[in-house]
């Protein structure tokens, strides 16, 4: 490749997503870079040479960064130093178990590998297309007892109550559930269910 082609290749990769070139993945691999070079410049290059080429362009393999957008350090400190010890004390007094419960989504386009990007700069992925997905809810206590259930569709208050009923089938003691701030957790129907159960 000549210097102009290399420069263009760098611009095509850095800050871009392979799916923008119909290459079918959200992460740059040497194979996809090779396919892009063939498609764009008509040049076939082996995978071992691709690494050297990308390094010469100051493009290195990196794991893309994903940040939680709702972290509040002061609230976390308050919860760990004040709120949770009070919950633990009350649970012990009445013989209840404490479970931490959360949901997650598993998507077909999740980032599990590395891609290539300019050395020193984090690669950011943009979502393109509609992935397939399944959801899971799990509960764990401090002793390591664990429960989970998978479900599809939206996480509505009706779905959450159904999952909670299944969870409670296996409990012999009272339970304190520690939940995050998901709107479904705060729904009127969920609050009413928790008061009765």
Same-domain status, 161 and 92: yes
Same-domain status, 24 and 99: no
Contact 141, 97 (CB under 8 A): yes
Q: Look up the domain containing 134 and give its range.
A: 73-115+127-196
What whole-number percentage of the chain has pLDDT above 70?
91
C-alpha 137/C-alpha 116 separation (Å) is 33
Can you name the residues that pair with 116 across neighbouring β-strands?
A: 61
Q: Which tokens belong to 36?
A: 């892009």
Same-domain status, 50 and 8: yes
The H or E element that residue 186 is part of is none
Whether residue 168 is predicted with pLDDT greater than 60 in this model: the reply is yes
Same-domain status, 53 and 141: no
Q: What is the pLDDT of residue 169?
A: 92
Same-domain status, 131 and 34: no
Q: Which are the contacts of 57, defined by CB distance < 8 A and separation ≥ 6?
A: 6, 9, 10, 13, 118
Same-domain status, 174 and 150: yes
For the four alpha carbons of 15, 28, 108 and 180, in that order, the dihedral sign comes to negative
3-state secondary structure of 99: strand
Whether residue 125 is predicted with pLDDT greater than 90 in this model: the reply is no
Q: What is the pLDDT of residue 114?
A: 74
The model's confidence at residue 70, banded by pLDDT at 50, 70 and 90, is: low
Q: What is the pLDDT of residue 112?
A: 64
Q: Write phi, then psi, for 171 (nearest 5 degrees).
A: -100, 135
Same-domain status, 96 and 187: yes
Q: What is the pLDDT of residue 189?
A: 94
To 10 degrees, what angle do helices 30-41 and 3-13 make? Answer: 130
Q: What is the pLDDT of residue 159?
A: 94
Same-domain status, 94 and 174: yes
Write the pLDDT tens digit of every residue in 48-65.
899 999 999 999 888 776
Same-domain status, 110 and 182: yes
C-alpha 60/C-alpha 69 separation (Å) is 26
Same-domain status, 134 and 175: yes
Write the pLDDT tens digit of every residue in 80-117.
999 999 999 999 999 999 999 999 888 776 666 777 78
Same-domain status, 13 and 109: no
Q: Exposed (0-12), middle (13-18) or buried (19+): which is 28, by Cβ within 10 Å?
A: buried
Q: Do the domain assignments include residue 68?
A: no
Whether residue 67 is predicted with pLDDT greater than 60 in this model: the reply is no
Evaluate if pTM is beyond 0.75.
no
The model's confidence at residue 174, banded by pLDDT at 50, 70 and 90, is: very high
Contact 173, 96 (CB under 8 A): yes
Q: Do the domain assignments include residue 143?
A: yes
Q: Do the domain assignments include residue 135?
A: yes
Total structural domains in the chain?
A: 2
């Amino acid at each position: 490749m000549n210097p102009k082609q290399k420069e263009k290749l760098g611009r095509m990769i850095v800050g871009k997503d392979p799916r923008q070139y119909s290459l079918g993945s959200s992460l740059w691999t040497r194979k996809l870079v090779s396919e892009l070079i063939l498609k764009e410049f008509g040049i076939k290059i082996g995978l071992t040479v691709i690494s050297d080429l990308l390094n010469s362009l100051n493009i290195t393999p990196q794991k893309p960064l994903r940040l939680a957008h709702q972290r509040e350090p002061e609230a976390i400190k308050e919860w760990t130093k004040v709120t949770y010890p009070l919950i633990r004390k009350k649970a012990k007094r009445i013989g209840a178990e404490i479970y931490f419960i959360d949901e997650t989504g598993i998507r077909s386009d999740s980032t599990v590998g590395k891609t290539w990007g300019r050395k020193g700069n984090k690669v950011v992925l943009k979502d393109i297309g509609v992935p397939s997905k399944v959801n899971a809810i799990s509960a764990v206590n401090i002793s390591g007892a664990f429960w989970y259930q998978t479900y599809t569709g939206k996480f509505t208050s009706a779905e959450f109550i159904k999952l909670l009923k299944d969870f409670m089938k296996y409990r012999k003691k009272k339970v304190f559930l520690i939940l995050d701030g998901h709107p479904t957790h705060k729904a009127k129907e969920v609050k009413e269910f928790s008061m009765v159960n």
